[in-house]
């Protein structure tokens, strides 16, 4: 038990640290900006927020936008901490992304999935926690989500997320085939300013079980399959966005894995901070019933 508490403490210390570093960076850069006027060039909210795996996106879905407020001439970045409190579990994710010249994005996220009482029921121990690191890269291929208001072409990006789960032995016992794998996705995002809408869709090729938290592949299959992610959001005002999302998942483990949905509100008081609150439904996760709950995410950006 003490080790579990220590691990949880270590986790929150690390999450807090990444936020503190990001906050310090934003303050430092903001004051530098007053002289050089060289940072924070994108329009408010147009780089989205950090999705659960660390890439720029909505909450669950990945978007084609590049993280941070850097324009084609600048480097930007973001750091985030997200907590999803579900009926029987708690998922935490924290990490950072760097956007280079509104063209490339590198991201990292560490996820911790606390099984709480279910862990004991499964014989893993109460509070048994699955951990996963996600290393992401994204490149914008064509289109501009903001400026191309006179064209149908959305902003399109190609990305990958390399996932390394730390719980190999337990994953094998669950029936998963692998403890690391790489997702590949194509995302298309368009902001319709006139209609105040953001529409985004992504096709993700993955073999992940519950995003990879329960490993990759299983008795029901082991190949990468196309999954769909979609977001529709309404720009209530420049600093307030309301939206809904969906993300399909596949049941490789034969444990009844289901699609995920959320309804979110994201608030951007300024370019350095955003807060996203969502109601999520991640579907069935091992135990009977759907896992629903509240998603809260804090992001610092520059």
* Contacts to another protein by CB under 8 A: 34, 37-38, 40-44, 71-74, 87, 102, 146-152, 192-197, 199, 230, 232, 234-238, 242-244, 246, 258-259, 261, 263, 279, 281, 283, 288-290, 292
Residues 44, 239: Cα–Cα separation, whole Å: 7
- By C-beta, is 38 or 219 nearer to another protein? 38
Name the minimum Å distance from CB 8 to another protein: 26
Please, what is the minimum distance in Å from the beta carbon of residue 169 to another protein? 31
Q: Considering beta carbons, is residue 1 or 152 the nearer one to another protein?
A: 152
Contact 88, 118 (CB under 8 A): yes
Least separation in angstroms between CB 38 and another protein: 8
Q: Which is nearer to another protein, 19 or 282 (CB)?
A: 282
Cα(286)–Cα(168) distance, integer angstroms: 17
Minimum gap (Å) between residue 109 Cβ and another protein: 25
**Between residues 170 and 280, which has the closer beta carbon with respect to another protein?**
280
> How many C-beta atoms surround the C-beta of residue 151 within 10 A?
10
Q: What is the closest distance, in whole angstroms, from the C-beta atom of residue 89 to another protein in the complex?
A: 14
* C-alpha span between 85 and 92 (Å, rounded): 9
Tell me the closest approach of the beta carbon of residue 157 to another protein, in angstroms.
Answer: 18
Whether the Cβ atoms of residue 295 and residue 280 lie closer than 8 Å to each other: yes
Nearer of residues 146 and 186 to another protein, judged by Cβ: 146
Phi, then psi, of 259 in degrees rounded to 5: -70, 160
Q: How many Cβ atoms from other residues are within 10 Å of residue 168's Cβ?
A: 14
State the Cα–Cα distance between residues 61 and 235, nearest whole angstrom.
17
Contact at 8 Å (CB) between 78 and 299? yes
Which residue, 69 or 185, has its beta carbon nearer to another protein? 69
């Amino acid at each position: 038990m003490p080790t579990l508490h220590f691990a949880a403490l270590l986790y929150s210390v690390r999450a807090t640290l990444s936020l503190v570093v990001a906050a310090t960076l934003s303050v430092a850069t903001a004051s530098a900006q007053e002289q050089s006027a060289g940072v924070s060039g994108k329009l408010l909210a147009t780089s989205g927020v950090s999705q659960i795996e660390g890439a720029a996106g909505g909450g669950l879905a990945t978007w084609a936008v590049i993280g941070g407020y850097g324009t084609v001439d600048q480097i930007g970045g973001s750091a985030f901490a997200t907590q999803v409190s579900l009926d029987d579990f708690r998922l935490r994710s924290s990490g950072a992304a760097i956007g280079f010249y509104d063209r490339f994005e590198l991201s990292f996220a560490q996820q911790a999935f606390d099984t709480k009482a279910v862990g004991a029921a499964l014989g893993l121990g109460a509070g048994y926690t699955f951990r996963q690191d996600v290393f992401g890269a994204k490149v914008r291929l064509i289109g501009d989500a903001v400026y191309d208001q006179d064209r149908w072409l959305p902003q399109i990006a190609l990305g990958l997320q390399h996932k390394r789960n730390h719980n190999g032995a337990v994953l094998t016992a669950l029936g998963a085939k692998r403890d690391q794998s790489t997702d590949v996705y194509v995302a298309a995002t368009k902001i319709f300013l006139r209609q105040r809408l953001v529409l985004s869709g992504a096709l993700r090729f993955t073999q992940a079980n519950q995003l990879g938290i329960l490993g990759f592949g299983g008795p029901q299959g082991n190949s990468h399959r196309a999954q769909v992610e979609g977001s529709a959001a309404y720009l209530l005002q420049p600093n307030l966005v309301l939206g809904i999302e969906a993300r399909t998942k596949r049941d490789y483990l034969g444990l009844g894995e289901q699609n995920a949905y959320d309804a979110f509100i994201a608030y951007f008081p300024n370019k350095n901070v955003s807060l996203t609150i969502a109601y999520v439904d991640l579907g069935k996760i091992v135990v009977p019933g759907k896992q629903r709950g509240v998603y809260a995410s804090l992001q610092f950006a520059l």
